[in-house]
Amino acid sequence: MYRPKRSKPRVLAIVLAGGEGKRLMPLTQDRAKPAVPFGGIYRLIDFSLSNLVNSGYLKVVVLTQYKSHSLDRHISQTWRMSTLLDNYIAPVPAQQRVGKSWFSGSADAVFQSLNILDDERPDYVVITGADNIYRMDFSQMVEQHIESGRGLTIAGLRQPLDLCSSFGVIDTDPEDSTKVRQFLEKPDRVDGLPDSPNEFLASMGNYVFSADALVEALYADASNAESTHDMGGDIVPMFVSQGDCGVYDFTYNEIPGSSDRDRNYWRDVGTIDMFHEANQDLISISPIFNLYNTDWPLYTGYTGLPPAKFVYGHHERLGHALDSIISPGVIISGGEVIASVLSPHVRVNSWSSVRDSVLFDGVNVGRNATVVRAIVDKYVKIDEGAQIGIDHEHDKARGCWVSEGGIVVVPKGVHITRE
């Protein structure tokens, strides 16, 4: 691939956002997983895109596929870059450029989009997922990758040994801790790290490739009939077998404004229970993940909304919220909200109670209603006196979902009656 000489390496970022997110149903019943609302005003993809932009990478393509309309709309309305400086964040749907098939895996998604690399002609390619909660400066990882001279560098997250069966495990060379010796997919057991025997390095699903090496690997993978065309399952082992794969330890990633408490925070929100727990991480006095770090801001698209409002001051009908995130446009009118996250335009009416819950945009909680340990999708109407999260069998009978951990999920637009 010909590239003109330049003083600064050219980096293209690719965000893989085509996942179906089956384990997050019914939140993904009507939207792609990266478009799921999170933390009141954000979408899951905002965290990945904010990391890339804050890292200085302003040429980004987002590969979409599954129910992508709301995701495409969010990107196009929110993530507008300077065309004068030739910067962009562009959603790219599955285009069937190499055959009449959709993406068969994460590696195939990039392979079917290689025309983007032909157009952009990058020196290096950052590839990341779109649905984890974390802060990361990718420029530090890219710098290590360039210095290593390897074809691929993968990001590793330190995890307790007993979680090894839940991750792709990075086994490093004893003589070079930056070189990957083996990549093990969800093994039963692994050895601990030399400097931390009770931990191992798990793959974060973030990669930096030298562009030529990536293109060569993708063509080889596409011609392999036995491949599943997965980035972690096929492409990474290919580089490992060639001795051409390095690892970047996320522990050493420095983020301006981070605290000891939220340093190196990373959350997979792949299930309803994980999603609920990650929202809860945001609302303590010293949050496990701090949304208020202005040195590494999180960007999103809500503008022009009125402030939140708390009304009714009578001691028997007091509108209040404790240990909660209350977004713009919310009205708490004589109800109580405790340990919850409320998205824009939610209304909580008199004598109602919302506890340990996440309410998406436009939810209306009627008078004397109760919502406990629930995730309520957009535009749900909860009638006066109705209860959610008290009787799970009753919840299921009304069309709600209940997770293994007992979190009730009310699908988008449902009307919850008292009966």
Residues belonging to the binding site are 168, 185-186, 203
The length of the chain in residues reads 419
- By DSSP bridging, strand 387-388 and strand 381-382 are unpaired
- Helices and strands counted in the chain (H then E): 9, 32
Task: Evaluate whether 245 touches 232 at the Cβ level (below 8 Å).
Answer: no
Which 3 state secondary structure label does DSSP give 331?
strand
Are the beta carbons of 89 and 81 closer than 8 angstroms? yes
Alpha-carbon separation of residue 240 from 71, 168, 175 (angstroms): 34, 13, 16
Q: Which residues pair with 176 in a beta bridge?
A: 173
* Inter-axis angle of helices 69-78 and 45-54, nearest 10: 30
Residue 355 burial class via C-beta count within 10 angstroms: exposed 0-12, middle 13-18, buried 19 and up? middle
Q: Which of 277, 334, 290, 326 is nearest to 306 (CA)?
A: 326
Q: Are 35 and 64 in contact (CB under 8 A)?
A: no
DSSP alpha helix (H) spans, 55-137: 69-78, 106-111, 114-120
> Known binding site for alpha-D-glucose 1-phosphate: residues?
168, 185-186, 203
